Homo-oligomer: A and B are copies of this chain.
């Protein structure tokens, strides 16, 4: 494999930091690493660790992309929209984790286990899907291939670090307050106290009362799986967990799908680890699924509520949303580019 100059836009954030670690772990052929961040990080003299060296952070500005072959985007929507076209103009291919380009028709939106074939059609930008969408689709896709997905009903249990480093630090701060019997006070970036609480809102609301996070599961899911008519009902809830999103999923199919067959399919599906032994209380949990790259699937069972003649399976899955839900998925996509 030829070595590449790799820039990371937003290298000091929680996803950017994880991208660095994934590049190292997966032995990605990096010739030069260019970590980019805001003026504030540059002024603070921030560095990032990569292969045992401290690499100084450079300012994220158009000229910084000169010579970059691959840009991994871990910045917010506005920064991505402003800077990634500049990177493309300078010949780089961008894998962007923001929401900015995900639904643009000429931008592939990719979960490699599902639609790696779409990568080839890129015009300089490939989008990384929403974290909860990636974690749900990794197990849903092989079941769809077997039986034809028609409907998804999902309730999520999403970790604090889905809101980035500020979310992670805020939950830790709140837990210390609660443990000490102190008032939690202002809870930014969350709407309300998250410790010992649940917040059924991630993102803003649309006219029908769905949040932007909930609509991503449908709109991104349709694009990734090439199922433009797919119907998805999603309820996204922030829970007081540091890391790893969990999802309770009911999936209906066109064709019959037994629980036994679903389990067999999942056991051989890429990116999935089946952990489903009720008799020994083994099932996926956020604490166990943090800091690894597979989506763990368990509680696989028949949907007892399915009307006669409706093929429907229910299961529970957990995955690290910073790794497979963001950084690992982006680096996997980048691997297809080299």
Q: Which of B218, B299, B300 contacts A304 (CB 8 A)?
A: B218
Q: How far is the CA of A218 from the CA of B195 in the complex (A)?
A: 31
Majority secondary structure, A binding face: mixed
A239-B198 contact, Cβ under 8 Å, with A153-B250, A231-B307, A314-B233: yes
A286 at the B interface (CB under 8 A): yes
Task: Please give 8 more A-B residue pairs, beta carbons under 8 A apart, in addition to A196-B241, A208-B301.
Answer: A151-B307, A175-B179, A197-B287, A209-B278, A232-B305, A233-B304, A237-B248, A239-B239
A287-B232 contact, Cβ under 8 Å, with A175-B179, A299-B209: no
Q: Which of A289-308 contact B (CB under 8 A)?
A: 298-307
Q: Which residues of A contact B (CB under 8 A)?
A: 150-153, 155, 157, 175-176, 178-180, 191-193, 195-201, 205, 208-210, 218, 231-233, 235, 237, 239-242, 246, 248, 250, 259, 276, 278-279, 281, 283-287, 298-307, 312, 314, 316, 318
Q: Which residues of B contact A235 (CB under 8 A)?
A: 155, 248, 299, 314, 316
Q: Which residues of B contact A285 (CB under 8 A)?
A: 192, 197-200
B209 touches A301 (CB 8 A): yes
Most buried by B among A248, A287, A302: A248
B179 touches A279 (CB 8 A): no
A209 touches B250 (CB 8 A): no
Q: Which residue of B lies closest to A299 (CB)?
A: B200
Q: Which residues of B contact A176 (CB under 8 A)?
A: 179
* A150 to B: closest C-beta gap in Å: 8
A287-B233 contact, Cβ under 8 Å, with A208-B302, A250-B153, A302-B208: no
Q: How far is the CA of A283 from the CA of B238 in the complex (A)?
A: 13
Q: Which residue of B lies closest to A301 (CB)?
A: B209
Q: Which residues of B contact A314 (CB under 8 A)?
A: 233, 235
Q: How far is the CA of A305 from the CA of B175 in the complex (A)?
A: 37
Most buried by B among A197, A201, A246, A286: A197
A281-B175 contact, Cβ under 8 Å, with A157-B198, A196-B287, A209-B300: no
Q: Which residues of B contact A232 (CB under 8 A)?
A: 304-305
* A31 to B: closest C-beta gap in Å: 39
B302 touches A196 (CB 8 A): no
Q: Which residues of B contact A200 (CB under 8 A)?
A: 246, 248, 283-285, 298-299, 316
Q: How far is the CA of A195 from the CA of B172 in the complex (A)?
A: 12
A152-B305 contact, Cβ under 8 Å, with A196-B240, A200-B283: yes
* A245 to B: closest C-beta gap in Å: 10
B157 touches A237 (CB 8 A): yes
Q: Which residues of B contact A281 (CB under 8 A)?
A: 191-192, 201
Q: How far is the CA of A230 from the CA of B191 in the complex (A)?
A: 37
Q: How far is the CA of A314 from the CA of B239 in the complex (A)?
A: 20
